[in-house]
Structure 1
Amino acid sequence: MDLDFEFAFTERTPRIVNAAKLLRSQGRKKADLFLAEGPNSVDAAIATGAAREVFVTQAGAQRFADLITAAQHLSVRVDPITDRAAKSMSDTVTPPGIFALCTPVMWPAKEVLGRRPRLVAVPVETAEPGNAGTLIRVADAVGADAVLFAGTTVDPQSPKAVRSSAGSLFHVPVARETNLQAAMDRLQAKGLNILATCADGEVSLDEADEILAQPTAWLFGNEAHGLPDELLAKATHRVRIPIRGRAESLNLATAASICLYESAKQLARAAER
């Protein structure tokens, strides 16, 4: 591949230093920007217009030549960086060698649900960025209308969350609502059935076909503590996932995948009737 730029060997240019600061929440808030790392996320950032600038190592430029071409075609600035610079911009052991500097893609909580949502994922007080990103990816895959993070949660635009979403953060509307009651009010105002995942739920997912055929918001609890009692009390139904083996429980991302898939399936069947 012929590159129309030369690779720099200075690791501490202002652009690189400022980009590295985005690994921290404070840096993202101050700059009103975030970093997307890896080919899937960078591809989605370029395609959706969120990418302001692309950083790429020499090896990355060879490996992801199509992304560089796409960025240049859309007049997105491309900056060559060294491997050492890439490590300063990444929180992974082996950076893939390509990054996008992005404008924020989070939606306002009051707008994220749209006019008539049919399937919404609501992670409550999610603490693990990998789970947050994976849940966004699952929501995108099943065709959910939105993901609304409720309560005090991890930043969906943090490096690991963005990476774990594999580009889906740029595809599905995502918002944060720190006030749990306000989040519930927004869901109820849209006429959604609010289903809470719960180990001792009164409804088995196996027997919830009719419930799932209705517009639904799924509440998924914190990894360690589950859902707070006040939210369980306000849910339309508490739903349990049958576990037929010896596992005691399922992690957040797995439970969300199962529930959202079942909802999407029943909504599709209802639409065909």
Structure 2
Amino acid sequence: MSRRARVTPAEAGLPDGGARRRTPGLRREEVAVLAGVGASWYQWLEQGRDISVSPQVLDSVARVLRLGDAERRHLYVLAGLNPPAPQPAPGRPDMCEGLRRLIDTWMPYPAHIMDPYYNCVMYNDAAAVVLGMRPDITQNCLVDFFTDPLYRSRSKSWEGNARSVVAQFRAASSARPDDEGYRAVLEQVSAASEEFRALWAERDIEDAGQIRKELDHPLVGLLCLEATAMKVPARPDLTIVLHTPLEEAGTAAKLEWLASPEGRRGAMYPVAG
């Protein structure tokens, strides 16, 4: 009812006739007509009665009431249905700027952000220095994991992590089996790596979470990191990967040195170990 009161007839494409309206916003009957449902059914919906509700009808009502994504999912919950997956908010371009500030503030520890297909959207300076992220690779985290010789030369935990990386990509892609974006990445990495093809054939499934990484950096030696993948509800299409130093090998101090002026001069260009 509160959202119905916020939508004017003009916004809904209805003539207001110039007459004074007793009801602010749209009338129930108008919402019912615009959503293609019966007036009595819509009244029962507002009253929370025990009626049959389909996702398609709720989406029609949400469209007429101009609900945002969070409001639409809340409507599903109120109606007793499983809410749809969150969708990116097109009106929140500021989120990318805020996420850039987040990963830059994470310095001197590596951090990067991926889209659903594991394409790297942005990364901080530590990710470039430690993980070897740079413009002249594919910028797809799955493809580069299997094909980038620089990262492969540094990663002491590559064999142990490869199975999890593939299993997590299968879990993500299996939720959207008809998505051409996942198919394109799968074709690219399959053509480039026999090791990927062998692991993909094992059909393992694993949720994204935390992965331990051990890297042999050419300037500071062993680095022990824990990579944590996180989601932001306002941008469900993005995954933030934050790398936290573990206690072994004095990793935190080494990362701080790499981010210092002296360390930056030594690591100006990534080199293989």
For this structure pair, what is the TM-score category when the shorter chain's length is used for normalisation?
A: under 0.3
The alignment's TM-score, normalised by the length of structure 1, stands at: 0.25
Higher relative contact order (CA 8 A, sep 6+): 1
Determine which structure has more spread, i.e. the larger CA radius of gyration.
2
Larger fraction in helix: 2
The alignment's TM-score, normalised by the length of structure 2, stands at: 0.25
